[in-house]
Amino acid sequence: MSTRGEGIAAGSSAGSSSFSRWVRVAPALLLVASATFVAAYYVPLRRAHLLLIQEQQRSNQKAKELDQTLSQVRGELQAKTAEVEKLEAERQQAAAVKKSGLERVEQLKTELAGKLDRQIKKGVAALAVVDGQAFVALPESAVFVANKTDVSLQGQGLLCQVAGALSTAGQGPIRVGAVSGPPDSVPPALQGAYTTAWALSAARAASVAQAVEAKCSVPGARLSAVGHAEHDPAGAALAESKLPPGRVELSIALPGAAPAEK
């Protein structure tokens, strides 16, 4: 019995000693397990979490920058759209003004043609519109005394009819131009006083302007005179009129007309 009891006591003592060792070792194992968990799971998860936060912050910053860019682009697009709409409105307005001006020019041309219809049919007048100006051309034989630069009585009446017709287009300046024939076309009777076509055409233009002022009640301030020699600014437009090269041309700017583009 004593031997058995001693064995039981020894076993109990050994079990107690083993339990004590486990009690001492358990915290260390728990600490190691915790450290292993932290190292294996928590730290990577924490890093991943921080990376996600940083990525989200970068994404939010990019989204903010994109919103700002989009707002700027919208503003620029609205400004461009407004500019295009403004230009289109101006273009339409200009087109309407031009159309109205062209219609007015045609109306004035028709009125002038009506007032000068008899002279045009007789071949002593021709009408053309060039670069926004109405030109009425008269042969020099119908305006001047033969072999002189003086305006004849017939010429005075014709000039007054033309001046009156041009005045229906407005009270703007009337320009008198004289065109001669070729450079050597100065009549022999006038070569002593006028050695060149320039000199002769200038004298004839001045004589016509003086007659229009004196006989047709047109203020001198509205008149100007220029000699073109053989050069005729309205020649192409008057080509079908069959008037002779030597002629007088009275012109006036038509309201609403724009000069032709070069």
What SS3 string covers 38-66? Answer: HHHHHHHHHHHHHHHHHHHHHHHHHHHHH
User: Does residue 151 surpass a pLDDT of 90?
Assistant: yes
Give the separation between CA 86 and CA 92, rounded to whole angstroms.
10
User: Does residue 148 surpass a pLDDT of 70?
Assistant: yes
For the chain, what percent of residues have pLDDT higher than 70? 75
Give the residue among 125, 120, 128 at the shortest CA–CA distance from 233: 128
- Output the CA–CA distances (angstroms, integers) from residue 249 to 41, 125, 242, in the order listed: 106, 9, 14
Model pTM greater than 0.85? no
Give the residue among 255, 86, 39, 53 at the shortest CA–CA distance from 167: 255
Q: Show Cβ contacts of residue 199 under 8 Å, excluding neighbours closer than 6 positions.
A: 227
pLDDT, mean of residues 155-161: 92
Q: Which two tokens stand for residue 11?
A: 């076993």
Look at residue 259 in the predicted model and tell me its pLDDT. 47
Pair 200, 186: CB distance under 8 Å: yes
Q: 251 - beta bridge partners?
A: 135, 175
Pair 140, 247: CB distance under 8 Å: yes
Domain residue spans of the chain: 1-101, 116-253
Positive or negative, the Cα torsion across 241, 247, 252, 258? positive
Look at residue 261 in the predicted model and tell me its pLDDT. 43
Look at residue 43 in the predicted model and tell me its pLDDT. 67
Pairing of strands 223-229, 126-130: unpaired
The 10s digit of each residue's pLDDT in 77-99 is 888 888 888 888 777 765 555 55
pLDDT, mean of residues 174-192: 83
First and final C-alpha spacing in the chain = 142
If DSSP codes are grouped into helix, strand and coil, which group holds residue 194?
coil
Q: Which residue has the higher pLDDT, 89 or 213?
A: 213
Q: 128 - beta bridge partners?
A: 135
- Output the CA–CA distances (angstroms, integers) from residue 238 to 43, 209, 210, in the order listed: 100, 21, 25
The 10s digit of each residue's pLDDT in 237-253 is 887 777 888 899 998 88
The CATH number of domain 116-253, selected from 3.40.720.10, 3.90.1280.10, 1.20.1080.10, 3.30.1330.60? 3.30.1330.60
For residue 150, name the pLDDT band (cuts at 50, 70, 90): very high
User: Does residue 185 surpass a pLDDT of 80?
Assistant: no
Look at residue 221 in the predicted model and tell me its pLDDT. 93
